Amino acid sequence: MKIALTDAFAQEKIRANHALIQVIDPELNINIIDLGLVYGLDFTIPNRITVTMTLSTPHCPLGDAIESGVTNALGKVFPDYQVDIQLVWEPEWSIDLVSEAGKEQLGIK
């Protein structure tokens, strides 16, 4: 997920991104940002954060643990915001979405 500095909510998005680094995929032991699971953050609705994200496997058994991780992590940084998670399968998650650090942890590099 790229954040443009010209974005009106760049500051919020950077804070949210930093918070989401704390959410770890329990199976892969890599944070969801480096895994490339988070596709987008939207702050346009007041006091609401919409997170568009996916899972590494559709119907992942730990899916709701990751979801509650996202809600908890953002809730700590933005206590007055409601967190809305939009789970999508398109585009499908692939290894190309993993960051360099994530690839290193997966043993690809």
Partner 1 sequence: MADIFVNKAPKEYVVVPFFGTAALFFLLLCLLLCFSAKEITGHYFNPHILAIVHTAALGWGTMVIMGAAYQLLPVICENELVSPRMAFLSYLFLTIGTCILVYCFWTFRTDWLMMVAGSSIVLSSYFYAYIIYRTATDANKSPIYQYFLLISALWLCFTTTVGILLVINLSYTFIPRNHIDVLKLHAHAGIVGWFLLLICGVGAKLIPMFLLGKSKKTILLYVALILQNLGLILFLVDGYFNPMGGRMLIYGALIALGTICWLIYLADTYQHRARKKVDVPMRHAAFSIGSKILAFGMIPVILLNPQTKWIALYGTLIFLGWITALILGKTFKTLPFIVWNQRYKNLNGKLKIPMPKQLYSEEVVKIQYYLYSIAIVLLCLGIALDSSLLLQYTGILWVLVAVLYVYNVFRIIFHKTTLHHENSTN
- Does 60 bind partner 1 (CB under 8 A)? Our answer is yes
**26 Cβ partners below 8 Å, 6+ apart?**
62, 65, 66
What b/e sequence results for 31-45 when a residue is b if at least 16 CB atoms lie within 10 Å of its CB, and e otherwise?
bbbbbbbbbebebee
Closest CA to 52 of 81, 29, 83: 83
Find the part of the chain contacting partner 1 (CB under 8 A) among 7-15, 36-44, 83-91. 83-91
Considering only 11, 27, 45, 91, the residue that binds partner 1 (CB under 8 A) is 27
- Does 82 bind partner 1 (CB under 8 A)? Our answer is no
Considering only 1, 3, 14, 106, the residue that binds partner 1 (CB under 8 A) is 106
What residues make contact with partner 1 under the rule CB under 8 A?
A: 19, 22-24, 26-29, 56-73, 76, 86-89, 95, 98, 106-108
